[in-house]
Chains A and B, each alone.
Chain A
Amino acid sequence: EAQVTQNPRYLITVTGKKLTVTCSQNMNHEYMSWYRQDPGLGLRQIYYSMNVEVTDKGDVPEGYKVSRKEKRNFPLILESPSPNQTSLYFCASSRIAVGALNTEAFFGQGTRLTVV
C-alpha cells in the first residue's frame, strides 16, 4: 500500500529537549516536504527536498532542520523546541515538485507536538 508514515503520532516534550519526527514514504517519490498546521492559518511549508541531499527552506523554517540522506526518509529535527512550535505537523511526498503539473501530494497522518 502506498503511504507516507510519520512517527510518533503524538509527542509531548519540554522546552529545549531535542527531538526528531521521522517520515518515510514507499512510493519512490523524489519530492518530500514538511508542513505545520495551525488553527486559522492552514498549512505552511517548513522545508522541502527535491531529491537526496537537496533541501530548501519553505515559508517557516526557523527552529527546524531536515536531512535527506535517503530517498525514502525525510526527518524533521527540532534542536531546541520552544512552545511556539506546538503544532500539528505533516510530511508529504510527491513524484515531482509538489505544485507542478499533474502532481498529487500524499500526506502522512500527522504528528501532534506539544512543547511545554
Chain B
Amino acid sequence: AQSVTQLDSQVPVFEEAPVELRCNYSSSVSVYLFWYVQYPNQGLQLLLKYLSGSTLVESINGFEAEFNKSQTSFHLRKPSVHISDTAEYFCAVSDRDLAGGYNKLIFGAGTRLAVHP
C-alpha cells in the first residue's frame, strides 16, 4: 500500500517570500498525485494534480508542483505567497484496492502554511 510523507507539519513564512511544501510517496509504480488545500473551517479543495505528461503542473493561483519519479517526490512551490494562502495543504496519492481499482486517496498528515505580514 502507498504511504505519503509530508516532511513539515508547519511552515511559517513572510508575505511575498517563496515557499516549498515537501511531499514524498512510497512507491515508484504509476500513480496519480494530488495537492489539496483546506482553508480554515472548510472542506478540502483540489489545488492541482499530476496524472501523466509534463512533470510540472500548475494551479490557477500561482502554485506549482513537480513530479520527480526517481525521488518519489511531488513538492509544492510558490514563488511569492500572500496572506490568503494561509491554510493547511495535503498531499495525496491514488492507491488501488484489492480489486485493482483506484478507489482511494492516501493523504499525508498535512502541512500548515502560515503567512505573516
Contact = CB atoms under 8 A, between A and B. Distances in A.
Bind each other: yes
Interface of A: 4, 31, 33, 35, 40-45, 48, 50, 56, 58-59, 90, 92, 97-102, 104-105, 107-110
Which 7 A-B residue pairings sit nearest by Cβ, starting from the closest? A99-B94, A107-B43, A99-B102, A42-B107, A43-B107, A100-B102, A107-B44
A9 to B, nearest CB: 9
Nearest to B93: A99
A68 B108 CA distance: 28
B109 A41 contact: yes
Interface residues of B, number: 28
B87 interface: no
27 contacts: A4-B43, A40-B9, A40-B109, A42-B4, A42-B108, A43-B107, A48-B104, A50-B101, A56-B97, A58-B104, A90-B43, A90-B44, A97-B101, A97-B102, A97-B103, A98-B103, A99-B93, A99-B102, A100-B32, A100-B94, A101-B51, A104-B46, A105-B44, A109-B41, A109-B42, A110-B41, A110-B43
A62 B48 CA distance: 32
Interface string B78-117: 0000000000001001111100011111011110000000
A99 B104 contact: yes
Contacts of B4: 42
B44 A48 contact: no
A107 B103 CA distance: 16
Interface of B: 4, 6, 9, 32, 36, 41-46, 49, 51, 90, 93-97, 101-105, 107-110
Given A43-B90, A101-B32, A109 B43 contact: yes
A31 B104 CA distance: 10
A32 to B, nearest CB: 11
B104 A98 contact: yes
Contact of A42 (B32, B104, B109): B109
Contacts of B95: 99
Nearest to A90: B43
Contacts of A40: 9, 109
Contacts of A107: 36, 43-45
A101 B4 CA distance: 19
